[in-house]
């Protein structure tokens, strides 16, 4: 090829690539500018309001009830000996039998722990929004979608992740939880939302009676003509049908059919008792994590957020709080263990977990069956939380900060996810997160 011809053709090619950039599956034009360092991220909202004293500080009833028995009741996540007496958090009558550990090594020993992190809200709603938006929900009411973009929308819009690459598995439908999978922000919104299930409602509650009998249609013989007729009807109707309750999340037809087939499979597994639940499943958190494991196995999402909340029993029953905390740890152990059994996720998944808020320093006046006082969440101690992470790029056995030496904020958790999945520059550039929010890797 002559030099002039080569220059002409290569110049046209360069101009063409600039004028017609690659169109990614999500509809965005350019690849994310950040470097993706983890194939999968599972973020656990270790939520419900967890006191630092009974969790990271491992003080059991020593720093809450005036009983001299410290100890670790979260031994899948934390290292350290269990309490030697006053055992109420296990199984059996009075909870006297602790649940055996699932993991051979604690998350703390194989990952990095931020011993004390600052929350931005002392409440569940504010805390959950901090975790999904990276900010505080100023001006946002209950029963309202987030005003600023969520982690799901950032990932899908800037990272090109498809809808079934991002999942939110909630432990219920209260507290506006189902509204957190996307915002009302005009530049983001439903077309970039994460998929959501509250599996205990979808698969074992009201959803079972509503959806159980749904037939999965044959793709060519039934689904194709149904869609063809629907398309014709929609073409005749000029109005924009994307809004309202009936709107979708921009799942492709194939993704929707995969979700429906997954739902069918879940109803069968519920019927057969074969959902991959933790060995001890006797509350909502453990049940929710069982279905989260099923979501991970089926979709192998790039990002999954799992929400727990059983520890909120602490408002009125401290013993139940300890029991729920022990089970939340059991559930996390099962989740991490299950991830290591999924081809494609084992060895290249990062786990990150953070409570959305803590609980008070002083108890309220409610006594439980052990004459222990309950705790609400509204004071400065409620702003003390912790964050743990583990995965292929996470330093092992590292602890950052300590008691009364907080490092990092609750909003760092979502930015760390953005960092791991390669969209942090775009999220920081968008400018909607809380000032000072950073990836936890930058705080190590």
**Which residues are at the interface with another protein (CB under 8 A)?**
163, 168, 173, 178, 181, 193-199, 201-202, 205-207, 209-217, 221-222, 225-230, 232-234, 236-239, 241, 243-249, 251, 256, 259-260, 263
Nearer to another protein, 173 or 366 (CB): 173
CB 226 to another protein: min, Å: 5
At 56, phi and psi to the nearest 5?
Answer: -60, -40
Contact criterion met (CB below 8 Å) for 295 and 169:
yes
Nearer to another protein, 90 or 194 (CB): 194
End-to-end CA distance of the chain: 54
Write down how long the chain is: 444
For tokens 């004459």, what's the residue? 371
Tokens of 322: 């300890």
User: What is the maximum alpha-carbon separation in the chain?
Assistant: 91
Nearer to another protein, 71 or 175 (CB): 175
Nearer to another protein, 19 or 239 (CB): 239
CB 331 to another protein: min, Å: 19
Q: Which residues contact 14 (CB under 8 A, 6 or more apart)?
A: none
Alpha carbon 409 to chain centroid distance? Answer: 17
Tokens of 37: 């360092």
Nearer to another protein, 250 or 428 (CB): 250
Nearer to another protein, 37 or 251 (CB): 251
Q: What is the per-residue DSSP string for 29-51?
A: SS--SSPP--SEEEEEE--S---
CB 209 to another protein: min, Å: 6
Distance (Å, whole) CA 311 – CA 213: 35
CB 307 to another protein: min, Å: 13
Burial class for 439, CB neighbours closer than 10 Å (0-12, 13-18, 19+): buried
CB 232 to another protein: min, Å: 6
CB 315 to another protein: min, Å: 24
């Amino acid at each position: 090829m002559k030099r002039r011809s080569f220059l002409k053709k290569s110049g046209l090619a360069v101009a063409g690539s600039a004028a017609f950039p690659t169109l990614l599956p999500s509809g965005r034009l350019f690849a994310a500018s950040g470097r993706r360092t983890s194939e999968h991220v599972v973020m656990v909202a270790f939520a419900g309001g967890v006191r630092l004293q009974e969790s990271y500080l491992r003080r059991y009833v020593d720093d809450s009830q005036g009983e001299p028995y410290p100890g670790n009741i979260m031994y899948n996540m934390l290292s350290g000996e269990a309490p030697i007496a006053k055992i109420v958090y296990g199984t059996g009558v009075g909870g006297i039998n602790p649940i055996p550990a699932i993991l051979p090594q604690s998350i703390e020993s194989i990952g990095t722990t931020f011993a004390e992190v600052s929350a931005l809200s002392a409440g569940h709603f504010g805390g959950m929004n901090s975790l999904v938006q990276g900010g505080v929900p100023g001006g946002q009411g209950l029963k309202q979608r987030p005003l600023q973009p969520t982690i799901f929308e950032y990932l899908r819009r800037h990272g090109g992740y498809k809808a079934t690459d991002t999942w939110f598995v909630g432990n219920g439908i209260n507290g506006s939880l189902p509204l957190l999978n996307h915002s009302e922000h005009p530049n983001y919104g439903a077309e970039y939302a994460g998929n959501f299930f509250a599996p205990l409602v979808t698969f074992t509650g009201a959803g079972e009676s509503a959806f159980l009998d749904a037939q999965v249609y044959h793709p060519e013989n039934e689904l194709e003509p149904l869609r063809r007729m629907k398309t014709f009807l929609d073409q005749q109707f000029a109005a924009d049908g994307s809004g309202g309750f009936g709107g979708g999340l921009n799942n492709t037809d194939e993704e929707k059919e995969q979700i429906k087939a997954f739902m069918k499979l879940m109803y069968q597994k519920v019927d057969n008792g074969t959902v991959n639940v933790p060995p001890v499943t006797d509350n909502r958190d453990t049940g929710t994590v069982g279905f989260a494991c099923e979501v991970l196995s089926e979709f192998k999402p790039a990002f999954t957020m799992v929400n727990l909340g059983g520890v909120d029993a602490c408002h009125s029953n401290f013993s139940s709080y300890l029991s729920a905390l022990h089970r939340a740890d059991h559930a996390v152990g099962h989740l991490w263990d299950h991830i290591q059994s999924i081809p494609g996720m084992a060895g290249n998944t990062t786990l990150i977990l953070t409570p959305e808020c803590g609980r008070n320093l002083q108890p309220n006046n409610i006594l439980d069956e052990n004459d222990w006082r309950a705790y609400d969440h509204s004071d400065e101690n409620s702003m003390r939380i912790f964050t743990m992470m583990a995965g292929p790029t996470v330093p092992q056995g590292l602890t950052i900060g300590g008691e009364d030496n907080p490092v990092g904020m609750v909003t760092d958790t979502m930015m760390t996810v953005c960092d791991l999945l390669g969209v942090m520059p775009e999220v920081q550039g968008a400018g909607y997160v809380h000032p000072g929010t950073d990836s936890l890797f930058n705080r190590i």
